[in-house]
């Protein structure tokens, strides 16, 4: 099998300021499927076409932002190996027991030099997408409820030490660098896009003085048309929209950035080119960052650089 | 009925309805470069200090608003709603935008 190691973004846990308002937003406007609530009050969601129990978890708190981002790995042997590899590289890891999150196995947790908490896990209950595995229909009526993305696609995180973060992902976790934006002096990377498979990115980081910041979690749409429909639903519900609908130069993805009711940015995303691990990295100079962000408007929107949670 | 909100730094006033946040009203003024961020109390770019007047609030991130800030009514404009005429001072990222003449921005 070609895909081993880290398979995909598995879950994000995000803090919200008002739980029930946020549940209504994520369930009825974004159109995620609520799959459970645990004893600590966390609410679990998945996108309609995802098969695992949950991919997006919210928790009431007095600040917004990201608690942690979790990666699904191939199996428990892979989990143990990556844990050992991280420790050998000099990164402290911690084991979170199975069941601490609903329907989720043991997790290996560690903190990146950017201040973000990452997790690896090998087991999460498969609850299915509501479509039988034998003679499946292409979609279910869950596709029409709200914006209804098909999966948690990636996240963009802001924090310091992006060069060290890149080394951990590429040298330990098996990712490769798909695209990057250079710093103004051209000597370093201001932002990096990393893939662990053939998606244009599974995670991205941008250099930022404050550690552990969330720029956005991104949800995958099936078409550009569905991105436009997402924009209609945002406006019908007076969702705070940041940028778009437009197309990124970086990744070539089609996008809308908007904020949840607590000021956590999210993205409805479609497309992007399909890289392979042997492809050469594509580079954007800082003076072309505007085209990288918003190709038609060629505009480096101020909120992109300065508004995070 | 809308209340009148006065920005003490500049002497400019604007109308703001009780169900509208102070940031929405400020944004409608159309001053270029008002940092309208998340509008959900999460990002902290819209900080103001309420100097006088009654208001009500919705939850805002305590990453950006300390106990001392609350005591001094230094709050996030996107989560503050007027209950009477108000006067406020813009602080933080908002200040450079609202109080700098356009020509030198
Ligand atoms: S605009 Fe983000 S906190 Fe007010
Ligand atoms: Fe994105």
Our answer to whether residue A53 is catalytic in this structure is no
Please indicate, yes or no, whether residues A60 and A188 belong to a single structural domain of this protein: no
Boundary of a domain, candidates A143, A174, A196: A143
Question: Between A and B, how many CB-CB pairs are < 8 A?
Answer: 73
Tell me whether residue A12 is in a domain. yes
Which CATH superfamily groups domain B3-104?
A: Beta-grasp domain (3.10.20.30)
How many domains does chain A contain in total?
A: 2
- Which CATH number goes with the domain that contains A35? 3.10.180.10
The domains of chain B are located at 3-104
Kindly list the strands in the beta sheet with A43-46, ordered across the sheet, starting from the edge strand earlier in the chain: A33-37, A43-46, A56-60, A6-16, A65-73, A117-121, A107-111, A94-96
C-alpha–C-alpha distance, residues A235 and A215, integer Å: 21
Local confidence band at B92 (pLDDT 50, 70, 90 cut-offs): confident
Residue A290 lies in a domain: yes
Q: Which residues contact A200 (CB under 8 A, 6 or more apart)?
A: A178, A179, A193, A251, A252, A253, A272, A273, A274, A275
A215 carries an active-site annotation: no
Inside any domain, residue A1: no
Contact between A33 and A81 under an 8 Å Cβ cutoff? The reply is no
- ipTM, interface predicted TM-score of the complex: 0.90
Min mean pLDDT across A3-7, A60-64, B93-97 is at B93-97
Host domain of residue A221: 151-306
Cα separation, A302 vs B97, whole angstroms: 13
Q: Is A172 helix (H, G, I), strand (E, B) or coil?
A: helix
B38-77 residues touching A, CB cutoff 8 A: 38-43, 45, 58-63
Say yes or no: A97 and A210 in one domain: no
Same domain, A102 and A204: no
Do A157 and A300 share a structural domain? yes
Domain end among A143, A176, A211 = A143
- How high is the pLDDT of residue B34? 67
* pLDDT for A15: 98
pTM: 0.95
Looking at ligand 1, which atom is closest to the CA of residue B42? 3
Asked if residue A14 is part of any domain, the answer here is yes
Index of the ligand 1 atom closest to the CA of residue B61: 3
The confidence score (pLDDT) of residue B105 equals 36
Indicate whether A104 and A202 sit together in one domain.
Answer: no
Peptide bond into A245 cis (omega under 30): yes
Same domain, A135 and A166: no
Q: pLDDT tens digits, residue range A112-148?
A: 999 999 999 999 999 999 999 999 999 999 999 999 9
From A84, A110, A143, the end of a domain falls on: A143
N- to C-terminal Cα separation, chain B: 34
Distance CA B55, CA A151 (A): 41
User: Cα separation of A108 and A85, whole Å?
Assistant: 12
Q: Quickly tell me which residue has 């197309």 as its tokens.
A: A247
DSSP A122: S
For residue B63, what pLDDT is reported?
96
Q: Do B60 and A17 touch (CB under 8 A)?
A: yes
Examine the pLDDT at A72 and tell me if it is beyond 70.
yes
- The mean pLDDT value of chain A amounts to 97
Residue A119 per-residue DSSP state? E
Do A290 and A159 lie in a common domain? yes
Confidence of residue B10 (pLDDT cuts 50, 70, 90): confident
Q: Are A173 and A232 within one domain?
A: yes
pLDDT at B87 over 70: yes
- Based on the domain organization, do A158 and A293 belong to the same domain? yes
The CA distance from A173 to B10, in Å, is: 54
Which residues are found with C-beta within 5 Å of the ion, ligand 2?
Answer: A 218, 267
Contacts A306 to B, Cβ<8 Å: 35, 37, 45, 93
């Amino acid at each position: 099998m070609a895909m081993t190691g880290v398979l995909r973004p598995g879950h994000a846990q995000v803090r919200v300021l008002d739980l029930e308002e946020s549940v209504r937003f994520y369930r009825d406007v974004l159109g995620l499927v609520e799959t459970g609530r645990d004893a600590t009050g966390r609410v679990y969601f998945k996108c309609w076409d995802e098969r695992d129990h949950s991919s997006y978890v919210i928790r009431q708190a007095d600040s917004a932002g990201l608690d942690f981002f979790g990666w699904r790995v191939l199996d428990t042997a892979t989990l143990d190996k990556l844990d050992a590899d991280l420790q050998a590289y000099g990164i402290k890891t911690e084991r979170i027991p199975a069941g601490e999150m609903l329907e989720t196995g043991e997790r290996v947790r560690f903190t990146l030099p950017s201040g973000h908490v990452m997790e690896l896990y090998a087991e999460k209950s498969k609850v299915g997408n509501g479509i039988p595995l034998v003679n499946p229909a292409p979609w279910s009526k869950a596709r029409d409820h709200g914006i209804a993305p098909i999966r948690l696609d990636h996240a963009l995180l802001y924090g310091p030490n992006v060069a060290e973060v890149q080394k951990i992902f590429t040298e330990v976790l098996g990712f490769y660098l798909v695209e990057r934006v250079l710093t103004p002096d051209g000597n370093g990377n201001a932002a990096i896009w990393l893939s662990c498979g053939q998606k244009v990115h599974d995670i991205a980081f941008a250099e930022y003085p404050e550690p552990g910041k969330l720029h956005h979690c991104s949800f995958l749409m099936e078409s550009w048309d569905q991105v436009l429909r997402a924009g209609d639903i945002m406006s019908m519900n007076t969702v705070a929209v940041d940028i778009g609908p437009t197309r990124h130069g970086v990744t070539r993805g089609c996008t809308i950035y908007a904020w949840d009711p607590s000021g956590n940015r999210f993205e409805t995303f479609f497309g992007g080119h399909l890289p392979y691990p042997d492809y050469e990295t594509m580079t954007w100079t800082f003076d072309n960052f505007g085209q990288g962000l918003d190709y038609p408007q060629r505009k480096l929107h101020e909120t992109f650089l300065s508004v995070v949670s | 009925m809308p209340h009148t909100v006065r920005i003490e730094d500049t002497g400019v006033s604007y109308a703001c309805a009780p169900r509208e946040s102070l940031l929405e009203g400020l944004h409608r003024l159309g001053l270029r470069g008002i940092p309208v961020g998340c509008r959900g109390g999460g990002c902290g770019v819209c900080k103001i200090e309420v100097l006088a007047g009654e208001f009500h609030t919705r939850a805002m991130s305590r990453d950006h608003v300390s106990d001392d800030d609350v005591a001094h009514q230094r709050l996030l404009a996107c989560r503050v709603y007027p209950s009477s005429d108000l006067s406020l001072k813009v602080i933080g990222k908002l200040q450079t935008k609202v109080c700098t003449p356009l020509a030198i921005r």
